[in-house]
Chains A and B, each alone.
Chain A
């Protein structure tokens, strides 16, 4: 497929998505959550640039983003089967592969939108509270862009899992339920516990959700941020965090994305619409 075809597919998907509540409602909710998360610090004047980025790009802070964005993506995809519009799109002249790649292009589109909300809201709040003239370093260091890239890659990884489930199950509720089941109880507890007991304790670090959460840490891309974390841990009497191996995290995420998208494409092409 040519770049022109991809552009056409992206335009079509945006045309469909821009008028859907399934896009704007979860994004609006997530924006509200972002306001609440940083609101107290803003009103107490405890937020400023560039320090805020360590909080913004911190593993736990991105979990809500993954949940809301995946929910939105699943609804945008599975409803095409309920309405039978996926079938009609193919009847109208799209090949199955084109339909698939059109939907796959929604992943980076949603990723950028959520990333802008995720970083934009605290960024603007922090900017308001920052004495720009007194700042010693850059307010928007390069490491922030690297962390945003990591966040996008992690998002693509967890949403690819959602994509696979939505094409396999073709039902929003069931696909979302299975995604939650995998990411929360399975990856978050059962698999690590079983691995620790019977397999290898490091195995869970290779799983898609855990790896994606870790990819969004600013400490992966900013040595100073890592040193601050290590110092804080030492002060608190805890062991320092593991030295980040960003290259490995990226490779794991890319491998998962390729595997999940390939499986989704094969599955989708083989099944009748």
Chain B
């Protein structure tokens, strides 16, 4: 079943003068039940605006979306009762305790206090329930936001930068919580900067840049676009091998590591062509293979190492 489906979703912020800002441009994605869907993009690429549109806080300029198959206002309102979400920073009443804040969330969702206690327990805040939100550390606030999204056991959980501000141990805990939710069959829509977290957690990703969807698919499919080749040649000096690879016109960004030379191949050249070129130079490769790309490599390649992406981790 398709949980989220957008069709040409567009948002243009009006300006007093000029055309305004096109924050989201014709984004069409599909999120199926049970997927852990990573939504990636540099700062200002339109991730939060896109999420805001299907959460009902931002009105699209054009396009449409369906939640749990429904698109009419009444259906969307009902669908949102099945969603737990947090957008950007944790937003709670600063003068209320963690528990009182979650009680409000539970009331809105028509759930009881037992759901509140369960959510606090899962995120590790059961012993800190009396702490006022304004006295919480950033890590506690993030956990509370996650607990808020989990209140009432929603079918779809949408999280915007859930590990922001957490130390490595906190990030690992969040990852474990998300894995637990995924094991229970929840659909998770996750926007994050932390690419290795997304790679380890998500089954599918979509990459947006300047409001446009530039790539989407399974994590395996995205990272299988391999363009970096590793070359070794027995009996050939590393410097000579590097020099020969550097003169190959179908590649650039040549570097050495260990006993291998790495080269980034251009889109229209492959390892066979490189092998033929080296043989022509009198160098016979003992190892020539494409390196598996990380999601971070894929992301930077797709977005061209886009400006504004300040925290690639």
Chain A residues within CB distance 8 Å of chain B: 8, 11-12, 15-16, 19-21, 83-85, 87-96, 270, 272-273
Contacts and interface: CB of A to CB of B under 8 A. Distances in A.
A92 to B, nearest CB: 5
Contacts of A96: 56
A96 B76 CA distance: 12
Given A19-B95, A93-B81, A272-B57, A87 B107 contact: no
B89 A15 contact: no
Given A85-B91, A90-B56, A16 B81 contact: no
B247 to A, nearest CB: 55
B103 A270 contact: no
A91 B55 contact: yes
Contacts of B85: 91-92
B81 A272 contact: no
Interface in B77-109: 77, 80-81, 83, 85-89, 91-96, 100, 103-105, 107-109
Contacts of A84: 88-89, 91
Interface of B: 52, 55-59, 77, 80-81, 83, 85-89, 91-96, 100, 103-105, 107-109, 148
B142 to A, nearest CB: 14
A229 B274 CA distance: 105
Q: Which secondary structure characterizes the binding site on chain B?
A: loop
Contacts of A272: 52, 57-59
Q: Which secondary structure characterizes the binding site on chain A?
A: helix
A91 B87 contact: yes
Contacts of B86: 88, 91
Contact of A89 (B58, B81, B88, B108): B108
19 contacts: A8-B107, A11-B107, A15-B107, A16-B93, A19-B95, A19-B100, A83-B91, A83-B92, A85-B91, A88-B87, A88-B91, A88-B148, A90-B57, A92-B104, A93-B81, A93-B83, A95-B56, A95-B77, A96-B56
A91 to B, nearest CB: 5
Contacts of A15: 100, 103-104, 107
A10 to B, nearest CB: 11
Nearest to B133: A83
Contacts of A90: 55-57
Given A16-B93, A19-B96, A87-B91, A273 B108 contact: no
Given A84-B89, A273-B58, A20 B107 contact: no
B96 A88 contact: no
A12 B56 contact: no
A272 B96 CA distance: 26
A18 to B, nearest CB: 10
A270 B59 contact: yes
A90 B83 CA distance: 11
Give the top 8 A-B pairs by smallest Cβ distance, nearest first.
Answer: A88-B91, A273-B57, A84-B91, A272-B58, A92-B108, A93-B108, A92-B105, A91-B55
A12 B57 contact: no
Nearest to B88: A84
A75 to B, nearest CB: 12
Contacts of A21: 95
A20 B55 contact: no
A12 B95 contact: no
Nearest to A88: B91
B108 A20 contact: no
Given A272-B52, A273-B58, 12 more contacts: A84-B91, A85-B91, A88-B91, A88-B148, A89-B104, A90-B55, A90-B56, A90-B57, A91-B56, A91-B86, A93-B108, A272-B58
A85 B92 contact: yes
A273 B51 CA distance: 13
A196 B45 CA distance: 56
Contacts of A12: 104, 107-108
Nearest to A80: B93
Nearest to A11: B107
Give the residue among A87, A91, A96 with the most B Cβ atoms within 10 A. A91
A15 B108 CA distance: 12
A156 to B, nearest CB: 25
Nearest to A16: B93
B244 to A, nearest CB: 58
A19 B81 CA distance: 27
A72 B89 CA distance: 27
B108 A83 contact: no
A73 to B, nearest CB: 17
Give the residue among B58, B80, B93, B108 with the most A Cβ atoms within 10 A. B108
B148 A92 contact: yes
Nearest to B76: A95
A20 B55 CA distance: 28
Contacts of B96: 16, 19
B225 to A, nearest CB: 35
Contacts of A92: 85, 104-105, 108-109, 148
Contacts of B104: 12, 15-16, 89, 92
Contacts of B103: 15
B57 A91 contact: yes
A16 B94 CA distance: 11
Nearest to B81: A93
Contacts of B92: 83, 85, 88
A272 B92 CA distance: 19
